[in-house]
Amino acid sequence: MMTQREFSAEFEKWTAYLMGFAYKLTRDKHLAEDLYQDTAVAVFKNHDKFTSGTNMKAWVGVIMRNSFINGYHRKKRRGLVFDDSKESYLLNDTKNKVTNEGEGNIAMTEMLNLVNELQDGLRIPFVMTYEGYKYDEIAQHMNLPIGTVKSRIFQARKILKTKLSLLYRNTNPQELVA
Protein backbone atom coordinates (compact mmCIF):
# COMPACT_ATOMS: atom_id res chain seq x y z
CA MET A 1 0.00 0.00 0.00
CA MET A 2 1.36 3.40 -1.00
CA THR A 3 1.47 6.29 1.37
CA GLN A 4 -0.54 9.38 0.47
CA ARG A 5 2.66 11.21 -0.47
CA GLU A 6 3.84 8.39 -2.76
CA PHE A 7 0.42 8.16 -4.34
CA SER A 8 0.34 11.93 -4.98
CA ALA A 9 3.83 11.83 -6.53
CA GLU A 10 2.82 8.94 -8.79
CA PHE A 11 -0.38 10.74 -9.81
CA GLU A 12 1.57 13.94 -10.63
CA LYS A 13 3.63 11.99 -13.18
CA TRP A 14 0.47 11.54 -15.26
CA THR A 15 -0.85 15.12 -15.14
CA ALA A 16 0.32 16.02 -18.67
CA TYR A 17 -1.09 12.77 -20.07
CA LEU A 18 -4.43 13.37 -18.32
CA MET A 19 -4.69 16.97 -19.53
CA GLY A 20 -4.03 15.83 -23.10
CA PHE A 21 -6.54 13.01 -22.80
CA ALA A 22 -9.12 15.38 -21.28
CA TYR A 23 -8.66 17.83 -24.16
CA LYS A 24 -8.97 14.98 -26.67
CA LEU A 25 -12.29 13.99 -25.10
CA THR A 26 -13.78 17.47 -24.67
CA ARG A 27 -12.13 19.52 -27.45
CA ASP A 28 -12.30 22.54 -25.13
CA LYS A 29 -9.58 23.85 -22.81
CA HIS A 30 -11.91 24.84 -19.97
CA LEU A 31 -13.97 21.65 -20.13
CA ALA A 32 -10.71 19.67 -20.18
CA GLU A 33 -9.57 21.43 -17.00
CA ASP A 34 -12.91 20.63 -15.35
CA LEU A 35 -12.67 16.99 -16.42
CA TYR A 36 -9.11 16.81 -15.06
CA GLN A 37 -10.28 18.19 -11.71
CA ASP A 38 -13.21 15.77 -11.56
CA THR A 39 -10.83 12.93 -12.35
CA ALA A 40 -8.33 14.04 -9.70
CA VAL A 41 -11.10 14.14 -7.09
CA ALA A 42 -12.27 10.65 -8.08
CA VAL A 43 -8.70 9.29 -8.09
CA PHE A 44 -7.89 10.60 -4.63
CA LYS A 45 -11.27 9.59 -3.29
CA ASN A 46 -10.62 6.02 -4.45
CA HIS A 47 -6.86 5.85 -3.89
CA ASP A 48 -7.34 2.89 -1.53
CA LYS A 49 -8.64 0.85 -4.50
CA PHE A 50 -5.40 1.32 -6.45
CA THR A 51 -3.07 -1.66 -6.24
CA SER A 52 0.53 -0.64 -5.80
CA GLY A 53 2.76 -1.87 -8.62
CA THR A 54 0.01 -1.85 -11.26
CA ASN A 55 -0.40 0.54 -14.19
CA MET A 56 -1.52 3.88 -12.75
CA LYS A 57 -1.69 5.51 -16.20
CA ALA A 58 -4.32 3.01 -17.30
CA TRP A 59 -6.17 3.26 -13.99
CA VAL A 60 -6.46 7.07 -14.04
CA GLY A 61 -7.25 6.98 -17.78
CA VAL A 62 -10.21 4.68 -17.16
CA ILE A 63 -11.42 6.92 -14.33
CA MET A 64 -11.20 9.97 -16.62
CA ARG A 65 -12.99 8.22 -19.48
CA ASN A 66 -15.77 7.05 -17.16
CA SER A 67 -16.11 10.54 -15.67
CA PHE A 68 -16.42 11.99 -19.16
CA ILE A 69 -19.02 9.40 -20.23
CA ASN A 70 -21.04 9.83 -17.04
CA GLY A 71 -21.00 13.61 -17.47
CA TYR A 72 -22.11 13.27 -21.08
CA HIS A 73 -25.01 11.01 -20.12
CA ARG A 74 -25.98 13.36 -17.29
CA LYS A 75 -26.10 16.33 -19.69
CA LYS A 76 -27.99 14.31 -22.27
CA ARG A 77 -30.64 13.27 -19.71
CA ARG A 78 -31.09 16.90 -18.69
CA GLY A 79 -31.27 18.00 -22.31
CA LEU A 80 -28.44 20.47 -21.85
CA VAL A 81 -26.36 21.60 -24.80
CA PHE A 82 -23.19 23.63 -24.33
CA ASP A 83 -23.28 26.95 -26.09
CA ASP A 84 -21.48 30.10 -25.04
CA SER A 85 -23.48 32.50 -27.21
CA LYS A 86 -25.84 35.14 -25.82
CA GLU A 87 -28.81 32.98 -26.83
CA SER A 88 -27.63 29.90 -24.92
CA TYR A 89 -30.57 30.22 -22.54
CA LEU A 90 -32.79 29.12 -25.43
CA LEU A 91 -30.85 25.89 -25.91
CA ASN A 92 -30.73 25.01 -22.23
CA ASP A 93 -34.31 25.90 -21.41
CA THR A 94 -35.98 22.62 -20.41
CA LYS A 95 -39.15 24.22 -19.01
CA ASN A 96 -40.59 25.16 -22.40
CA LYS A 97 -39.47 22.03 -24.19
CA VAL A 98 -41.96 20.71 -26.75
CA THR A 99 -41.64 17.21 -28.15
CA ASN A 100 -43.12 15.91 -31.34
CA GLU A 101 -43.67 12.18 -31.23
CA GLY A 102 -45.47 12.03 -34.56
CA GLU A 103 -42.63 10.49 -36.57
CA GLY A 104 -41.98 7.90 -33.88
CA ASN A 105 -45.66 7.01 -33.71
CA ILE A 106 -45.86 6.61 -37.49
CA ALA A 107 -42.73 4.47 -37.58
CA MET A 108 -44.04 2.28 -34.77
CA THR A 109 -47.39 1.84 -36.53
CA GLU A 110 -45.61 0.88 -39.75
CA MET A 111 -43.39 -1.56 -37.86
CA LEU A 112 -46.38 -3.19 -36.14
CA ASN A 113 -48.12 -3.55 -39.51
CA LEU A 114 -45.03 -5.25 -40.94
CA VAL A 115 -44.81 -7.58 -37.93
CA ASN A 116 -48.49 -8.48 -38.27
CA GLU A 117 -47.92 -9.41 -41.94
CA LEU A 118 -45.48 -12.17 -40.91
CA GLN A 119 -46.63 -15.80 -40.91
CA ASP A 120 -47.69 -17.02 -37.46
CA GLY A 121 -44.69 -19.36 -37.29
CA LEU A 122 -42.36 -16.36 -37.51
CA ARG A 123 -44.51 -13.65 -35.92
CA ILE A 124 -45.31 -15.46 -32.66
CA PRO A 125 -41.72 -16.20 -31.58
CA PHE A 126 -40.61 -12.72 -32.72
CA VAL A 127 -43.33 -10.98 -30.71
CA MET A 128 -42.73 -13.20 -27.68
CA THR A 129 -39.04 -12.29 -27.77
CA TYR A 130 -39.97 -8.61 -27.96
CA GLU A 131 -42.25 -9.10 -24.95
CA GLY A 132 -39.34 -10.50 -22.94
CA TYR A 133 -39.83 -14.24 -23.13
CA LYS A 134 -36.68 -16.36 -23.18
CA TYR A 135 -35.95 -18.80 -25.98
CA ASP A 136 -36.65 -21.84 -23.82
CA GLU A 137 -40.02 -20.39 -22.75
CA ILE A 138 -40.97 -19.73 -26.37
CA ALA A 139 -39.84 -23.21 -27.39
CA GLN A 140 -41.93 -24.75 -24.63
CA HIS A 141 -44.98 -22.62 -25.53
CA MET A 142 -44.74 -23.49 -29.23
CA ASN A 143 -43.59 -27.08 -28.63
CA LEU A 144 -40.48 -26.55 -30.79
CA PRO A 145 -36.73 -27.07 -30.31
CA ILE A 146 -34.81 -23.96 -29.15
CA GLY A 147 -32.77 -23.97 -32.38
CA THR A 148 -35.94 -23.72 -34.44
CA VAL A 149 -37.17 -20.81 -32.31
CA LYS A 150 -33.87 -18.96 -32.75
CA SER A 151 -33.95 -19.62 -36.48
CA ARG A 152 -37.50 -18.31 -36.84
CA ILE A 153 -36.70 -15.16 -34.87
CA PHE A 154 -33.65 -14.61 -37.10
CA GLN A 155 -35.77 -15.12 -40.23
CA ALA A 156 -38.41 -12.69 -38.95
CA ARG A 157 -35.77 -10.03 -38.26
CA LYS A 158 -34.26 -10.56 -41.71
CA ILE A 159 -37.65 -10.18 -43.42
CA LEU A 160 -38.47 -7.07 -41.37
CA LYS A 161 -35.10 -5.49 -42.20
CA THR A 162 -35.70 -6.05 -45.90
CA LYS A 163 -39.25 -4.68 -45.76
CA LEU A 164 -38.14 -1.63 -43.78
CA SER A 165 -35.32 -1.06 -46.22
CA LEU A 166 -37.78 -1.06 -49.12
CA LEU A 167 -40.23 1.11 -47.19
CA TYR A 168 -37.62 3.76 -46.40
CA ARG A 169 -35.58 3.27 -49.59
CA ASN A 170 -32.53 2.53 -47.48
CA THR A 171 -29.81 0.60 -49.29
CA ASN A 172 -28.38 -0.88 -46.09
CA PRO A 173 -31.05 -2.73 -44.04
CA GLN A 174 -28.43 -3.52 -41.34
CA GLU A 175 -28.69 0.09 -40.14
CA LEU A 176 -32.43 -0.11 -39.56
CA VAL A 177 -32.82 -2.92 -37.02
CA ALA A 178 -30.02 -4.14 -34.81
Q: Which residue type, as a one-letter code, is found at position 14?
A: W
For the whole model, what pTM was predicted? 0.45
Residues 6+ away with beta carbon under 8 Å from 32: 19, 22, 23, 25, 26
Domain boundaries, the chain: 4-91, 102-175
98 DSSP assignment: -
* pLDDT value at 171 more than 80: no
Report whether CATH 2.40.160.40 matches the domain 4-91.
no
Are 59 and 79 contacting, i.e. CB atoms less than 8 angstroms apart? no
87-143 residue pLDDT tens: 555 555 555 555 667 766 777 788 888 889 999 999 999 989 888 889 999 999 999
Could you give the CA distance from residue 59 to residue 66 in angstroms, rounded to a whole number? Answer: 11
Record: fold of 102-175: Arc Repressor Mutant, subunit A (1.10.10)
Q: What integer pLDDT is reported at residue 81 of this predicted model? A: 52
Please state, in angstroms and as integers, the Cα–Cα distance from residue 176 to each residue in 14, 165, 168, following that order: 43, 7, 9
Burial class of residue 85 in the structure, from the number of CB atoms within 10 Å of its CB (0-12 exposed, 13-18 middle, 19+ buried): exposed
